[in-house]
Chain A
Amino acid sequence: MLTAEPPHTLIAKRNGRAEARIRLRLRQGYHVNSNTPNQDFLIPLRLSWETGPLAPLEVIFPKPEQHDYAFSSKPVSVFTGDFQVVTRFQVAADAPAGPGILVGKLRYQACSQDTCYRPATLEIRLPYEVR
């Protein structure tokens, strides 16, 4: 339902900052809750990264869309179609030079107009090279 385009290799300079852009595609007719849902009971979109030589400083989500659905009396804050999530990393000063893979987990909960699907986790494998 939600897929991620394989990310480009991130070039990371020791003691510097690097930015990874994850391109996501949601099947037509579906939505995922945004990172800031309008109602407490809804499960937000979350991206977390395993610890490694690249430490996440900030995860930046796009501006959510506000959609009306039959199941909600007020607009629902969602993402649909193609969207991107950006992560800014701090590269450790002692990061070993060379390639590596940083693993991220994107937790999402998707619905259609009238049906919701159980929360799921999409694994993101981000190749990087420390120079």
Chain B
Amino acid sequence: MPGGRESRVKPASARRAAPDFELKDGDGKTVRLSSYRGKVVLLNFWATWCGPCMVEIPWFIDFERRYREQGFAVLGVSMDEDGWRAVKPFVSEVGINYRVVLGDATVAQLYGGVSALPTTFIIDREGRVAAVHQGLVSRSNYENDLRELFESPSRSTGARAPGVPAVAVGAR
């Protein structure tokens, strides 16, 4: 499996704002990325026909369960052309515990086209893109990224987010 153990998190000064968007979830509710400000967000573009995505999704389910209370959220953006007809049964079958929205060409364009899946953006608490992973990488890549962001002081508070331990994720 490609990918090493090093974090790919960019220095804060090199991060750019994650483009904001509004998309609908499976209940028809509008989800706005900017409403996640203050949290570390794992924004995952995926599809039900994507084999490598199937490997990562169980990791994300675990991350969501373990770190939700620590100011973290996964947001899945499905790029399935068949829409909810394909996505809803999959979400139910796999037991996805995080929010999933249906992507569109406009949002894909905002994020560089997203021609390849999976593509995952790690977004810091200030809403900036801290790391990008295209294709299947190792679980430790994500854990290292998240650990670094969890340990980073929030610009707004100058401190770690409440309840976030110094080492929040995985084994070193």
Where the two chains meet, the residues of A that have a C-beta atom closer than 8 Å to any C-beta of B are 39, 41-43, 69-72, 76, 109, 111-119
A115 in contact with B116 (CB, 8 Å): yes
Whether the Cβ atoms of A115 and B48 lie closer than 8 Å is: no
Q: Give chain B residues whose Cβ lies under 8 Å from the Cβ of A113.
A: 2
Q: How far is the CB of A44 from chain B (nearest CB, A)?
A: 10
Q: Give, as a whole number of angstroms, the nearest-CB distance from A35 to chain B.
A: 15
B115 touches A116 (CB 8 A): no
Please report the C-alpha to C-alpha distance between residue A41 and residue B49 in the assembled complex, in whole angstroms: 5
Count A/B pairs, Cβ under 8 Å: 59
Tell me the minimal C-beta distance from A45 to chain B in angstroms: 13
Some 27 contacts from A to B, beta carbons below 8 A apart, are A39-B51, A41-B48, A41-B49, A41-B90, A42-B51, A43-B49, A70-B1, A70-B52, A71-B51, A71-B52, A71-B54, A76-B51, A109-B49, A111-B51, A112-B135, A114-B2, A114-B136, A114-B137, A115-B52, A115-B116, A115-B134, A116-B50, A116-B53, A117-B115, A118-B47, A118-B79, A119-B81
Interface string of B86-124 (1 = CB under 8 A from A): 000010000000000000000000000001111000000
**Residues of B close to A72: CB separation below 8 A:** 51
Q: Mark B34-59, 1 if CB is under 8 A from A, else 0.
A: 00000000000001111111110000
CA distance A114 to B3 in the complex (A): 10
Residues of B within 8 A of A (CB): 1-2, 47-55, 79, 81, 90, 115-118, 134-137
Residues on A with C-beta less than 8 A from B137 are 114
List, in ascending order, chain B residues with CB within 8 A of A76's CB.
51
- Minimum distance in angstroms from B4 CB to a CB of chain A: 14
Report whether over half of chain A's contact residues are helix, strand or loop; otherwise say mixed. loop
Residue of B nearest to A42 (CB): B49
Nearest chain A CB to B123 CB, angstrom units: 21
CA A113 to CA B1, docked complex, whole Å: 9
B52–A111 CB distance below 8 A? yes
Considering the chains assembled together, what is the distance between the CA atoms of A112 and B134 in angstroms?
12
A126 to B53, CA, bound (A): 36
Q: How far is the CA of A130 from the CA of B117 in the complex (A)?
A: 44
Q: Which of B47, B51, B136, B137 has the most CB of A within 10 A?
A: B51
A71-B81 in contact (CB<8A):
no
B2, A118: Cβ atoms closer than 8 Å: no
Shortest CB-to-CB span from B33 to chain A, Å, is 22
| A122 to B: closest C-beta gap in Å | 16
New A-B pairs, 20, CB < 8 Å, besides A70-B52, A116-B118, A118-B81: A41-B48, A41-B49, A43-B49, A69-B51, A70-B1, A70-B2, A70-B136, A71-B51, A71-B55, A76-B51, A109-B49, A111-B51, A112-B135, A114-B52, A114-B136, A114-B137, A115-B116, A115-B117, A115-B118, A116-B49
**A119 surroundings in chain B (CB, below 8 A):** 49, 81
